[in-house]
Amino acid sequence: MGLSAKNIVVGAAVAAAAVAAFCFLNPSEEGRVKAAFKRAAATVSKEADEPLLAIAAKVRAISDLAEPEIRLSVPERDLNAKFTRSEMAQHVMLARKSCSSLSVAFESVSVQSIDGDVARATADLLVSGIGAESFLQGRDTREVESVLKKSPEDGKWRFSSMTIKAIVTPGTVSHPH
């Protein structure tokens, strides 16, 4: 009987490890949507003295964050336009170029809904760094509402729409750039 109980315990441990491995290797769609925000933050951020090879790799990676066409809306700047992924990458690269360092983070990512291959999510966008000509001095916090679409080709979630709104909370400063 002791051997049988030992086999049950070992079997249960193996089953628990298999379930944990499955969950780790197959994240939920919500987890994959949140991962798209992490990928975007890491891709757009810029270290001081970024190597030329890293810059070249980021151009391609930035293009891969968006659908072939992405709508960008910044109500406080009266901006509501569609861009190709190439145009969006050019704008992001120009903003990165004007900064000697740039840190981008999405905090409190909340997936509101996933309906088939379309996800709606919100997050707090935190941007900090040092920019040329006072483009960015210090830290800025914005609220972001996004629509992401899942690619049938590779299963990646990409941004198809992003609305960036000013938010004011204690301890943060939000101002137009």
> What b/e string do you get for 106-120 counting C-beta neighbours within 10 Å, with b at 16 or more?
beebebeebeeeebb
Summarised one tens digit per residue, pLDDT across range 71-103 is 999 998 899 999 999 999 998 888 888 888 889
Structure tokens at 94: 């120009």
* Fold of the domain built from segment(s) 28-166: Nuclear Transport Factor 2; Chain: A, (3.10.450)
68 pLDDT band, cuts 50/70/90, is very high
- Dihedral sign, CA of 76, 81, 82, 83? negative
State how far Cα 53 lies from the chain centre. Answer: 22
Q: Where are the domains of the chain?
A: 28-166
So what's the pLDDT on residue 25? Answer: 45
Residue 6 is which amino acid? Answer: K
So what's the pLDDT on residue 73? Answer: 95
So what's the pLDDT on residue 172? Answer: 46
Summarised one tens digit per residue, pLDDT across range 96-137 is 888 888 899 999 999 999 999 999 999 999 988 887 554 555
Q: How many CB atoms lie within 10 A of CB 123?
A: 21
So what's the pLDDT on residue 53? Answer: 84
Angle, vertex CA 123, rays to CA 70 and CA 81, nearest 5: 25
Structure tokens at 90: 């050019």
So what's the pLDDT on residue 132? Answer: 58
Q: Rounded to two decimals, what is the model's pTM?
A: 0.76
Distance CA 138, CA 93 (A): 20
pLDDT of 177 strictly over 70? no
